[in-house]
Amino acid sequence: MARFYEFDALLQKEGWLSPAFVGLDDEGNITYLSDQPYPNAALVEKIEGYVVPGFQNAHSHAFQYAMAGLAEHLPKGAASDDFWSWRNAMYDLALHTTPEQMKAIATMLYAEMLRHGYTSVAEFHYLHHDPDGNAYEDLAEMGHCLMQAAQDVGIRITLVPIYYQLGGFETPATPKQRRFLSQCPEEYMALLDATQKAASHYPLARVGMGIHSMRAVPPEYIVQLYQQPMALPRHIHIAEQQKEIDACLAQLKQRPVEWLLDHVELGTQDHLVHATHMDEQECDRLAASGAHVVLCPSTEGNLGDGLFPLKRYVQQGGHWSIGTDSHVGLNPHEELRWLDYGQRLHFERRNILCQREGDDSGEYAFFESLFSGRRAMGDMRTTCFSIGESFDAAIYDATHPLLACAPAARRLSTIVYALDAHALLGTMVQGVWRIREQRHPQQQQIRASFVRALSG
């Protein structure tokens, strides 16, 4: 049955459509979009809301949500803490997560993402095997859990099964990494094929291709996989920690991003996660390559990774998206603010993201993270809302005091810099209210399953 809505305003690339009349078909696709009422519409639901495209979460490790907030203390006997000690705790969690727990954790996590305004997530998935390190009968067993969780709550997912073979540059994997491993490119390709077949059963699922990191796959196999003619988004962790840079220089005589640029052809399907520690030449070359970076400010800050050279990268025309990674934070507004504020603190200047007079930081950050984030999902759309496309939206309360007073030209900056999920009326995916009044329709059952999974 067709549905019609009237919103106070709806965001388009050229500005705000106001008022905004939206018609949807039975499948949640847009059939009407105008500032004029639909002729002869029988029933129109009036909503005092400002509509924007849903946020794109371009990097997620779902199982790590189970340890969010639990590693903020010095371990017994430790004088300090860093990424590598945190990683050991994460490995312990990974070793004991069952498929049932994975589904419960992911379902809760994805519902919370929706509550914060995300409508799509790229799941960087390397927890493939059983606790003994043996492949499940269905190679995509754990992937099924993630895609089913996304389908159940109503968020779009791009599942990126990850190739992981080594424990470090020319170093065998450790026993704690046994659930992650593919022994050769052929074994990984079998996993990818199984994942693509599994994804065909989930209407909200897509698939990407991914390599864990430069240190986790032999260099000749990285080249081999990047030469595969696949029309999929490609993801890789890179240059997150200085220790990784030093090891790469010792083994390959080049920095990680430098080596990748010299040995494979990068383009708009490529998404380099973190890329924190680049020199100026790497930064400029990466921006010119057409590849995108995925930045995860709350996780990068939590792990003490360092600051990405955003100002230079943006000045060189580079593109970026955001992700919540370990999920110590799930607020897209916070990710965008953290990203900007880190640069402001470093350079002791404001509005670092603006390139010329009249630019608006919030507008730039929102659109950049939206369109680059969509590419990370394998979604090539470059419009906000169009006839025939699915209605995936975050709807903000137009009566919120700050939004009620903000001029249209500053509405996006108000959303990005001054608001959070509490200002949302809800989130829609495929024209369905997945969150309304801060709750998912199955919130009680989802929470109960999550608590049981972590208490067992």
Residue 256 has pLDDT above 90, yes or no: yes
pLDDT at position 84, please? 62
Percentage of residues of the chain with pLDDT beyond 70: 97
347-365 pLDDT, tens digit per residue, is 999 999 988 899 999 999 9
Strand segments, DSSP code E, in 348-445 are: 393-397, 424-429, 432-436
Q: In this structure, what are the phi and psi dihedrals at residue 51, rounded to the nearest 5 degrees?
A: -100, 130
333 is catalytic: no
Among residues 270, 284, 305, 325, the one annotated as catalytic is 325
78-88 pLDDT, tens digit per residue, is 666 666 676 77
- 37 pLDDT band, cuts 50/70/90, is very high
Beta-carbon count within 10 A of 404 CB: 11
Alpha-carbon Rg of the chain, whole angstroms?
22
Residue 89 has pLDDT above 90, yes or no: no
Residue 213 token pair: 């990191």
- 67 pLDDT band, cuts 50/70/90, is confident
Query: What does the alpha-carbon distance between residue 138 and residue 357 come to, in Å, rounded to a whole number?
Result: 56
Q: In this structure, what are the phi and psi dihedrals at residue 452, rounded to the nearest 5 degrees?
A: -60, -40
- 94 pLDDT band, cuts 50/70/90, is confident
Query: What does the alpha-carbon distance between residue 28 and residue 12 come to, in Å, rounded to a whole number?
Result: 19
Residue 73 has pLDDT above 80, yes or no: no
Contacts 24+ apart (CB under 8 A), 430-435: 430/27, 430/28, 430/154, 430/204, 430/390, 430/391, 430/392, 431/3, 431/24, 431/25, 431/27, 431/28, 431/29, 431/390, 431/391, 432/28, 432/154, 434/114, 434/153, 434/154, 434/155, 435/111, 435/114, 435/115
81 is catalytic: no
pLDDT at position 7, please? 98
pLDDT at position 213, please? 98
Query: What does the alpha-carbon distance between residue 441 and residue 428 come to, in Å, rounded to a whole number?
Result: 12
Which amino acid does the sequence have at 61? H
Helix or strand (DSSP H, E) at 235: strand 234-238
Strands 270-274, 432-436: pairing kind: unpaired
Residue 57 token pair: 């979460």
299 close to 329: Cβ distance less than 8 angstroms: yes
pLDDT at position 79, please? 64
Among residues 59, 274, 319, 327, the one annotated as catalytic is 274
Task: Write down all domains in the chain, each with its CATH number in brackets.
Answer: 3-53+386-443 (2.30.40.10), 55-377 (3.20.20.140)
Beta-carbon count within 10 A of 200 CB: 9
Beta-carbon count within 10 A of 32 CB: 18
Question: DSSP secondary-structure letter at 219?
Answer: H
Bridge partners of 123, per DSSP, are 60, 159
